[in-house]
Amino acid sequence: MGRNGLRAVVSLLAGLGVAGLLADPGSPSGAYPESYPVATATASGYPSSAARKVYLASALRNVGFSGAVAYPVATATTAPQATATSVPTATPARCLDVQWLLNPSFESGGSPWSITHATPERPTLSNLHSSHGSWSFYTGGRNNLYQRTIQTVTAPNNATSASLWFNKKMFSLDITTVAVDFLVVGVLDQNGSAINYAALSNTGNRGGWVTYKVPITNLAAHLGRQMDVVIAAETDASLTSWWYVDEVYLVFDCASTDARPAADAPAGDTPMDRADAQARLTGKGRQASAAVTPAPGPH
Ligand SMILES: [Ca+2]
């Protein structure tokens, strides 16, 4: 990259308000996944500038994330002025427009994701399936399983909207018509109550990446307070199901980045009332394992 290109990138980062977070970008070998499912449903093409901002903010918070800045750098080089100048006008001052989770794509090992329950064994990281990068989070795959993995954050004080986004790919040996194996992904408030969640099961899409959006409801009550982002899997006694989860983004943002079409991001694919979801997200009454982080595995 020439000096002008570098200057353009710095300008872009300054416009995004994230220049201070800029870390070693790592190897530029990665690229934004062509198969990202939202792409096919966005009439104006994908990724949008808003989506790129989310991705860039995510990348900058994910130290050691290989190739994390490859896509934003390429964009800034080809149209630096337009990209950099459009950001401030499109972003109201109170909008933080940032992705809040660390290691959201599981490219930096398991930390700081923490396992609080893992029966019969702890979940792992997988390099067989990923919607971005090389790695994803793997859970399920055994009968009579309950696994709970969390990342705890403190919400910013001044956001106007927020949503949890994630991608999942599910495989199952079980029937397609009745939900018996579950993956619940959601956010608990500082009291351990479910703010919102997506309930998925063996009846959902098999073998493809699907993007889910979980709006953080009643956000004002949670600003400046602790939140737990939880991935909880539970299977019954036979014919197991297993899930790969990737690109888990907790985005505090403006309406612009929260406006990806709801049709692209169903709240879930199986009915589950709040009490059932709460029980799975908190793991109440279930045996806890030692606090460990997911580790690379054979899955
Ligand atoms: Ca990944």
* Residue 63 alpha carbon to ligand 1 centre in Å: 14
Indicate if 107 and 198 belong to the same structural domain: yes
CA separation, residue 280 to residues 1, 36, 218, 243, 248 (Å): 49, 28, 22, 16, 18
Indicate if 41 and 120 belong to the same structural domain: no
Indicate if 163 and 24 belong to the same structural domain: no
Question: Cβ neighbours of residue 30 under 8 Å, at least 6 residues apart?
Answer: 66, 67, 68, 70, 133
Indicate if 46 and 171 belong to the same structural domain: no
* Residue 148 alpha carbon to ligand 1 centre in Å: 19
* Residue 131 alpha carbon to ligand 1 centre in Å: 6
Indicate if 134 and 282 belong to the same structural domain: yes
**pLDDT computed for residue 240 by the predictor:** 97
Dihedral Cα 66, 68, 71, 76, nearest 10 deg:
-120
7: number of Cβ within 10 Å: 13
* Residue 234 alpha carbon to ligand 1 centre in Å: 22
* Residue 108 alpha carbon to ligand 1 centre in Å: 9
Phi and psi at 74, nearest 5°, equal -60, -40
Out of 90, 117, 140, a domain closes at: 90
DSSP 8-state code for residue 39: G
* Residue 233 alpha carbon to ligand 1 centre in Å: 19
Indicate if 210 and 227 belong to the same structural domain: yes
Residue by residue, pLDDT tens for the chain (299 residues) are 444 443 444 344 333 333 333 332 332 233 333 223 332 223 333 333 344 344 434 433 433 233 222 222 222 233 333 333 333 344 344 456 789 999 999 999 999 999 999 999 889 999 999 999 999 999 999 999 999 999 999 999 888 889 999 999 999 999 999 999 999 999 999 999 999 999 999 999 999 999 898 989 999 999 999 999 999 999 999 999 999 999 999 998 755 545 454 434 446 788 888 899 999 999 987 877 778 889 888 66
Out of 47, 63, 90, a domain closes at: 90
- Using alpha carbons only, give the angle 191, 194, 199 rounded to the nearest 5 degrees: 155
Out of 90, 108, 128, a domain closes at: 90
Indicate if 266 and 156 belong to the same structural domain: yes
CA separation, residue 217 to residues 149, 161, 163, 221, 287 (Å): 22, 9, 8, 9, 30
Indicate if 112 and 61 belong to the same structural domain: no
Given a contact cutoff of 8 angstroms between Cβ atoms, the answer to whether 105 and 135 are in contact is yes
Burial class (CB in 10 A: 0-12, 13-18, 19+), 280: buried
Nearest-angstrom CA–CA distance, 173 and 176: 9
* Residue 1 alpha carbon to ligand 1 centre in Å: 26
* Residue 109 alpha carbon to ligand 1 centre in Å: 10
Indicate if 143 and 243 belong to the same structural domain: yes
* Residue 81 alpha carbon to ligand 1 centre in Å: 30
Given a contact cutoff of 8 angstroms between Cβ atoms, the answer to whether 26 and 65 are in contact is yes
Report the DSSP pairing between strands 295-296 and 124-126: parallel
* Residue 132 alpha carbon to ligand 1 centre in Å: 4
* Residue 92 alpha carbon to ligand 1 centre in Å: 30
Indicate if 39 and 120 belong to the same structural domain: no
Nearest-angstrom CA–CA distance, 158 and 56: 20
Task: State the residue range of the domain holding 193.
Answer: 99-296
Given a contact cutoff of 8 angstroms between Cβ atoms, the answer to whether 222 and 189 are in contact is yes
What is the count of structural domains for the chain?
2
Nearest-angstrom CA–CA distance, 152 and 145: 23
Indicate if 86 and 106 belong to the same structural domain: no
> Which residues are found with C-beta within 5 Å of the ion, ligand 1?
105-106, 130, 132-133, 135, 246
Nearest-angstrom CA–CA distance, 141 and 150: 19
Indicate if 189 and 248 belong to the same structural domain: yes
Nearest-angstrom CA–CA distance, 209 and 296: 21
Nearest-angstrom CA–CA distance, 138 and 223: 30
What's the CATH number where 235 sits?
Answer: 2.60.120.260
